[in-house]
Amino acid sequence: MSKTPSKTAAKTAQALTAIPLGGLGEFGMNMMVLRLGDDIIVIDAGMMFPESELLGVDLVIPDISYLKQNRAKVHAIVLTHGHEDHIGALRYILRDLNVPIYGTRFTLALVRKRLEEAGLLDSTTLREVIPGRLVEIGPYEIEFISVTHSTLDCVALAIRTPLGVVIHTGDFKIDQTPVDGAAFDLHALAKYGREGVLALFSDSTNVERPGFTPSERAIVPRIEELCRSAPRRVILSCFASSIHRIQQVIDIAVRVNRKVAFVGRSMVDNVEIAHSLELLRIPDGMVVRPQDIRGFDPKRLVILASGSQAEPMSSLSRIAVDNHRHVSVDENDTVILSARIIPGNERSIFRMLDHMFRRRALVYYDNSGGVIHVSGHASQEEQKLILQLVKPKYFVPVHGEYRHLFRHAALAHQLGAVSEEIFLLEDGQAIEFAEDRAYRRDPVPAGRVLVDSGSLEEIEEVVIRDRKHLSEDGVVVPIIAIDKHTGKLESQPEIVTRGVMSENGQELLIGAREVLMKTVAESSAVENSDWGVIKEKIRVDLKRYINKQTSKRPLILPVILEV
């Protein structure tokens, strides 16, 4: 039977360009741009948490300079699911790029909450999509394909263009027994594979893991065993977006005759959103309010708390140091960390768990004694299956550090499932698909924008350098009173230091004071009455002296008092 050509296929084919702006070379900050002539769509808009050397930075988002330069050509942002590494940048970039947002019901519910907090909800258009349906955005015809992951309502995208179909998997694993019964639509991917796929962009996160990722249901036996045998209350922490995990803990609590309490803002918010959409089943009379926890029988309670990554002011961190209004950890309480330890967070997480151990809690935090956490990302065998089903002409690994992209490319090469070419890209590196071939284009501006979430302001690199400078070498504030008429010192200089003093601290201060007095004494009355000049002379002389004595180069901020 002949296939009816779509509107897009009937148009004249022109080059299609794919430009990753985030997520290729790091975990998080996922953002991919597709451009066909003057028509642009953006897939995902994620953030990531900063590395420890980014002092005082709250989060990191993609540099969208390219999208700002082409603002009038951007039609929409299309979301694959509601994790922060895919939606977390929206509240920042929508100020410069006010375009419609397409996503599934639960994804948009999470987006709505964040945009409401940022005061952007009324000015943003949100368009709900349903898996299996087609949506036209400019020259793109997009089918949203249901996939399984560690949160609800996740989709892959099949994007039909005049050049052919592009498939973007989003984040996925192939869970054959999903908690909500919403199966991975492998048939849809196979259908496109039979038709012919121009390019596949696929999740590389777990490429270093052989085999298959276990089903979400694999956690039930061990967690139920721990809840059943717990001598007192159970405190379980997982990602607040892991609604399937939360559902299973609620179901376990019912079976072991315990109630549940939800603690932590993100946990409470996400549970309320999922419950209001009827995506989370909570029996009547099952929930204990946070303020009632202390008075409730500890042998009949499971507490679900956010903060599995030991974020400084999260509920679990505060519980660990007995600084939470409603929850404390007592001897023989059971603490279950049902979440992956994200690389970089190990020290803070283990420090938090140490506090639990000191309180003689029963702490479980890895899968060594039974499965208490499973990943939401595909392992090697699932990645191979997607490649075999889709059989793309071109393949681009996405989502991960360079070694993950490289190993995913090697896996595809070994499999022989890609008919033309495999492209290893990083942020900003563009690839163009023409009718007869694909080739690299000149890179576009890309990188990281550092954000202080308290002020919603971008932080310049120079500020980070200053903070690094201060953290390593400290600060010195010389305070000098000078008679504006004579240019002479009125009293001995005062010197305030932070992060500079060493064993010979007093000797250093005495010597620094002598340097200051000498600088002022050897300067003319005119120089001493010109604050700009004398400040610079003091800064230079003091910096030279301190560097010679300590090998440090502190920030020096002279203060001149006019008397």
Chosen domain end from 435, 459, 483: 459
The strand pairing partners of 71, in sequence order, are none
- Is there a single domain that holds both residue 398 and residue 479? no
Residue 194's Cβ-count burial label (10 Å; 0-12, 13-18, 19+) is exposed
pLDDT at 456: 47
- Is there a single domain that holds both residue 116 and residue 41? yes
Residues 6+ apart with CB under 8 A from 439: 431, 432
The enclosing domain of 348 has a CATH number of 3.40.50.10710
pLDDT at 7: 44
Q: What's 287's DSSP letter? A: B
The enclosing domain of 509 has a CATH number of 3.10.20.580
**Is residue 536 assigned to a domain?**
yes
- Domains held by the chain: number: 3
**Is residue 371 assigned to a domain?**
no
- Is there a single domain that holds both residue 448 and residue 483? no
CA distance 200 to 203: 10
Amino acid at 231: P
- Is there a single domain that holds both residue 455 and residue 494? no
- Is there a single domain that holds both residue 203 and residue 226? no
- Is there a single domain that holds both residue 337 and residue 266? yes
Token pair 């900003």: residue: 428
Cβ(182)–Cβ(379) below 8 Å: no
pLDDT at 465: 61
- Is there a single domain that holds both residue 59 and residue 158? yes
Residue 327 is part of which domain span? 216-364
pLDDT at 3: 40
pLDDT tens-digit profile, the chain (563 residues): 334 444 444 444 589 999 999 999 998 999 999 999 999 999 999 998 776 555 556 788 999 999 999 999 999 999 999 999 999 999 999 989 999 999 999 999 999 999 999 899 999 999 999 999 999 999 999 999 999 999 999 999 999 999 999 999 999 999 999 999 999 999 999 999 999 999 999 999 999 999 999 999 999 999 999 999 999 999 999 999 999 999 999 999 999 999 999 999 999 999 999 999 999 999 999 999 999 999 999 999 999 999 999 887 889 999 998 989 999 999 999 999 999 887 778 888 999 999 999 999 999 999 888 999 999 999 999 999 999 999 999 999 999 999 999 999 999 999 999 999 999 999 999 999 998 899 999 999 998 887 765 554 555 555 556 666 666 777 888 888 887 777 777 788 888 887 776 656 777 888 888 888 888 888 877 777 776 778 888 888 888 888 888 777 787 888 888 76
**Is residue 558 assigned to a domain?**
yes
- Is there a single domain that holds both residue 479 and residue 395? no
CA distance 430 to 425: 8
Q: What's 37's DSSP letter? A: T
- Is there a single domain that holds both residue 173 and residue 247? no
- Is there a single domain that holds both residue 488 and residue 538? yes
pLDDT at 521: 83
**Is residue 464 assigned to a domain?**
no
**Is residue 347 assigned to a domain?**
yes
- Is there a single domain that holds both residue 298 and residue 411? no
Chosen domain end from 342, 364, 386: 364
pLDDT at 5: 42
Q: Does the model's pTM come out above 0.75?
A: yes
Phi-psi region of 44 (alpha: psi -120 to 50; beta: other; left: phi over 0): left
CA distance 287 to 281: 12
CA geometry: angle 270, 274, 276, nearest 5 deg:
115
- Is there a single domain that holds both residue 387 and residue 360? no
**Is residue 556 assigned to a domain?**
yes
CA geometry: angle 136, 140, 142, nearest 5 deg:
65
**Is residue 1 assigned to a domain?**
no
**Is residue 258 assigned to a domain?**
yes
DSSP-derived pairing of the beta strands 475-482 and 457-459: unpaired
Cβ(174)–Cβ(155) below 8 Å: no
Helix and strand element counts for the chain (H, E): 17, 27
Residues 6+ apart with CB under 8 A from 275: 282
Chosen domain end from 459, 489, 519: 459
Q: What number of other Cβ atoms are within 10 A of residue 463's Cβ?
A: 16
